[in-house]
Amino acid sequence: MRTPFVCSLQVKAYTTRVGAGPYPTEVFGPAADNLREIGREYGTTTGRPRRVGWMVSVRYSARY
C-alpha cells in the first residue's frame, strides 16, 4: 500500500522587521501586540519585540 502525498503549507499575512528605516505597512498598538504575541515575533538573542506590518503581495504573470 502506498502512502498518499502530503503537503503542508504555513502562511502568514504579515511581515516583520528589525531595526530602523521605513516600514510603510507597520502596525502599532494592540493589533501589533496581538500579532507579535500570536506569532512569537521576538528576537532570538535579545528577546526584543520585532516590528510587525501587513504583507503586501504583488503578483506578476506572463504568457509565453
Residue 61 confidence (pLDDT) above 60 = no
CA distance 61 to 54: 23
Residue 4 confidence (pLDDT) above 70 = yes
The phi and psi torsions of 30 (rounded to 5 degrees) equal -60, -35
Task: Give 18-58 pLDDT, tens digit per residue.
Answer: 888 888 889 999 999 998 998 899 988 989 999 999 887 66
